Amino acid sequence: MSSSPPRAKGTSGATVGYNALRQATVEGAKENLVGFSISGLATYVQIPELDLCLDMGECPLSALPLDHVFLSHAHGDHSRCLMRHYSLRRMTGIERPAAYYLEADLVERARDLVRAEARFEGTPLAKLAMPDFVGLEVGAEPVPLAWRKDLRIGAFRVHHSIPAIGCTVYDHKRKLKEEFAGLPGPKLAELRLEQGVEITREILEPRVSFCGDTTIKGLAANPQIWKSRIVVVESTFLEPGEEAMARHKRHTHVTELVALLKELGPELKSETVVLSHFSMKHTPAQILALVAQAVPEELRERVRVLI
């Protein structure tokens, strides 16, 4: 007989009436982050400056102009509005095809989902238009975003109940190679134009990391994410005593996250760490109070909540 999982003890005793279409802005973040994230209901984080939406558990109209969508894993609360995004863009006359980034192993299954939905609706498969899925390989070189060549996206493995990945979005820049530093402009131009010398090198500056659903193990295995200016992490469990349940359900508890951030010390370069994916049993006021209780003074400047 398998042992039964520990049961959640609700603070409010009932689920709270959340509306996933009603988006919140992350206060105090240097980037404009707008979205919604409640465990089991929906997660999506829109970053208009990057023309990007992280996960698509719901698709408010404000997501339609965004040309790039990243999916962390196949759970419905993170992925179920992928086709809604695709279809509504077409319906509202947005001609530019959006690009959907997901783990390479999921691409064929995503196509199966599109075909199944077409069959359900009675659309002949011959008339079916397929979204542009871009498979990301874990640990591979970051790839350019389809419509933003100044940005790159790369994937890393996290640890959840099904295969799941996080992503880092980088600013892609070119910098003068050290050996040419100090040379006058005309000389550099001559080297570059007349002699065909490559005088710059590529640099990638990590801007945003998004971790989807993961245990603390998945975060600890990816110390590079804390170099990003902004990191969005899940913090599903908040109440003292729920640590074992967090591990059992393959999610993160806020005290584990705080311990990890403290352990990082000066390695924590991120200006903003956004907590998300809270349990729907808490009201927003309870979430804010539980986070405030768990986050020590020295981290308060950086830690924000998506609620």
Task: Report the residue from 75, 253, 282, 302 that binds Zn ion according to the rule CB under 5 A.
Answer: 75
Total residues at the site for Zn ion (CB under 5 A)?
Answer: 3
Contact between 55 and Zn ion by CB under 5 A: the answer reads no
Partners of residue 206 on adjacent β-strands:
170
At a CB cut-off of 8 Å and minimum separation 6, what does 256 contact? Answer: 216, 243, 246
User: Measured from the CB atom, is 58 or 67 closer to Zn ion?
Assistant: 58
Distance in Å, CB of 119 to Zn ion, minimum: 26
256 binds Zn ion (CB under 5 A): no
Please choose, out of 110-118, 165-173, 200-208, 213-221, the segment that lies near Zn ion by the rule CB under 5 A.
Answer: 213-221
58 binds Zn ion (CB under 5 A): no
CB of 279 to Zn ion, least distance (A): 11
The span from the first CA to the last CA of the chain, in angstroms, equals: 39
Q: Is 77 one of the binding residues for Zn ion (CB under 5 A)?
A: yes
- Residue 60 or 206: the one with the smaller Cβ distance to Zn ion is 60
213 near Zn ion (CB under 5 A): yes
Torsion of CA 303, 208, 81, 236, to 10 degrees: -30
Rounded-to-integer distance, Cα 31 and Cα 158, Å: 24
Segment lying near Zn ion (by CB under 5 A), choices 70-78, 83-91, 96-104, 222-230: 70-78
The SS3 call for residue 121 is helix
Identify whether the C-beta of residue 174 lies closer than 8 Å to the C-beta of residue 126: no
Please give the Cα distance from 224 to 57 (Å, whole number).
26
Where does this chain bind Zn ion (CB under 5 A)? 75, 77, 213
